[in-house]
Amino acid sequence: MKIALITGITGQDGAYLSEFLLNKKYIVHGIKRRTSQFNTQRIDHLFNKQKKLKKPKFFLHHGDLNDSLSIQNLIKKIKPNEIYNLAAQSHVAVSFEQPEYTANSDAIGVLRILESVRILGLKKTKIYQAGTSEMFGKVLETPQTEKTPFYPRSPYGVAKVYGHWISINYREAYNMFVSNGILFNHESPLRGETFVTKKIIQSLVRIKLGSKEKLVLGNLYSKRDWGHAKDYVEAMWRILQYQKPDDFVIATGKQYTIKQFVNLVAKKLKMQISWKGKGINEKGFLGKKNIISLSKKYFRPSEVDSLIGDSSKAKKLIKWRPKYDIKKLIDEMVEFEFKNISKY
């Protein structure tokens, strides 16, 4: 029975990956941060189900990527076959407000894991590092592949570039099995509420149901390549099952602007939105009612304008294929919001 250790288990990807690995009969250990209120909502159903079994296979431990002793102690105790390093301060806009914290967790945090595995002499432990299309930033090539040079545009992107290269360095210097996923945006019903897809869907569903609120956004014209987290965690697992450590771009190969995403959600909700005005004064109307406006608050000091990935390598070598397209993704996210609306 394989043992996996997931950092960032309470996040969107951590929840989907836990479920995926439990279904594959792994023993799953996860690292969660101590917080003043419970932060395990995304994985409680898995934990409660496992708790009832004679031999549970799901375990949670307190730890923090910014605390090397906690990381080293847990790796020593668990001796995982596979480590999935998903923990990160993952919000690009927040990384401008907390650049030092972001560098500590998203860059040096990776080093802490690699050093722990090296010092402990766990030669068979494979490590997955959660890299991101944000590393391509001001893109130097379109579409982006494993060979496209990086040009990060945020403290988050810069920290992740360190995580990517230190992983390659440990692979080459110490012959460790360390692989980088370069994942493009992936969303789901479990997406954090301040990321743009979830924010748009939650707000438009509430407006559809009669809320008087306004959806306030930033840049409507950046383009993203959006997939579903369920497909992307399968890619993480496939990356570690490959015969050797390597780097893989995971993307759908299709891109949409934020405005197109809003229009697709509105179409699903049968809301006819018309757009008027330009620049910061652009507004979205439902009939005569202004329901969408823009605020400088949500624009970034430096933006990533356009991302679109080419995952031919993953398709060929690890046989990864996404099952969701943008329509199916939106359908699932919208339906989830309707079911959970009573929570608002």
Q: Which residues does the annotation mark as catalytic? A: 132, 134, 156
Q: In the set 13, 234, 247, 337, which binds ligand NAP (CB under 6 A)?
A: 13
CB of 227 to ligand NAP, least distance (A): 8
Q: Judged by CB under 6 A, does residue 102 bind ligand G4F?
A: no
Q: Does 132 bind ligand G4F (CB under 6 A)?
A: yes
87 near ligand NAP (CB under 6 A): yes
**Residue 64 binds which of ligand G4F, ligand NAP, none (CB < 5-8 A, kind-dependent):** ligand NAP
Hey, which residues between 284 and 313 contact ligand G4F (CB under 6 A)?
298, 300, 303, 307
Q: 21 or 196, CB closer to ligand G4F?
A: 196
Task: Spell out the SS3 assignment of the chain.
Answer: CCEEEEECCCCHHHHHHHHHHHHCCCEEEEEECCCCCCCCCCCHHHHHHHHCCCCCCEEEEECCCCCHHHHHHHHHHHCCCEEEECCCCCCHHHHHHCHHHHHHHHHHHHHHHHHHHHHCCCCCCEEEEEEEHHHCCCCCCCCECCCCCCCCCCHHHHHHHHHHHHHHHHHHHHCCEEEEEEECCEECCCCCCCCHHHHHHHHHHHHHCCCCCCEEECCCCCEECCEEHHHHHHHHHHHHHCCCCCEEEECCCCCEEHHHHHHHHHHHCCCCEEEECCHHHCEEEECCEEEEEECHHHCCCCCCCECCECCHHHHHHCCCCCCCCHHHHHHHHHHHHHHCHHHC
Residue 89 binding ligand NAP, by CB under 6 A: yes
Write out the two tokens for 140. 């130097």
Does 231 participate in binding ligand NAP (rule CB under 6 A)?
Answer: no
The item of ligand NAP, ligand G4F, none sharing an interface with residue 303, based on CB under 5 to 8 Å by kind, is ligand G4F
Residue 166 interacts with ligand NAP (CB under 6 A)? no
Does the protein bind ligand NAP through residue 234 (CB under 6 A)?
no
Minimal distance, residue 196 CB to ligand NAP, in Å: 11
Q: Looking only at residues 256 through 275 of this chain, which bind ligand G4F when binding is defined by CB under 6 A?
A: 258
Nearer to ligand G4F, 78 or 333 (CB): 333
Identity of the residue, 199 or 214, whose beta carbon is nearer to ligand G4F in the bound complex: 199
Q: Which of 202, 222, 252, 311 binds ligand G4F (CB under 6 A)?
A: 222
Residues that bind ligand G4F (CB under 6 A): 90, 92-93, 132-134, 184-185, 194-196, 199, 217-219, 222, 224, 258, 298, 300, 303, 307
